């Protein structure tokens, strides 16, 4: 079995895409204790945003466009 140091060295030698996938899987594997109050607030917020889209109070924009806008703001 590999030591933690050996495993890290092998992981760091992977191509970027593979390292990103590995990082994502490792993060997903962590168990987080969630606060039910915070979770309820987020659910309420998600439903409010969903309803705003359904009632056309706001107009959604594609994710790529949103990211482009954020990048432009960060470059200023």
pLDDT at 34: 84
Structure tokens at 45: 């917020």
Residue-level pLDDT at 9: 96
Say what the pTM is: 0.49
Give CA–CA dist 46/52, Å, rounded. Answer: 10
pLDDT at residue 65 greater than cutoff 90: yes
Q: pLDDT at residue 14 above 90?
A: yes
Instruction: Look up residue 68 and give its two tokens.
Output: 């482009």
pLDDT tens digits, one per residue of 19-40:
999 999 999 899 888 899 999 9
Cβ within 8 Å of residue 42, ≥6 positions away: none
Confidence class for position 75, pLDDT limits 50, 70, 90? very high
Distances (CA, A) of 63 to 52, 60, 66, 67: 17, 9, 5, 6
Q: Is 58:52 a contact under the CB 8 Å cutoff?
A: yes
């Amino acid at each position: 079995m590999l030591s933690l140091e050996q495993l890290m060295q092998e992981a760091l030698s992977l191509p970027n895409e593979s390292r990103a996938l590995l990082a994502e899987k490792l993060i997903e594997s962590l168990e987080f204790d969630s606060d039910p109050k915070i979770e309820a607030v987020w659910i309420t917020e998600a439903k409010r945003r969903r309803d705003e889209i359904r009632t056309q109070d706001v107009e959604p924009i594609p994710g790529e466009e949103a990211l482009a806008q954020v990048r432009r703001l960060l470059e200023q």
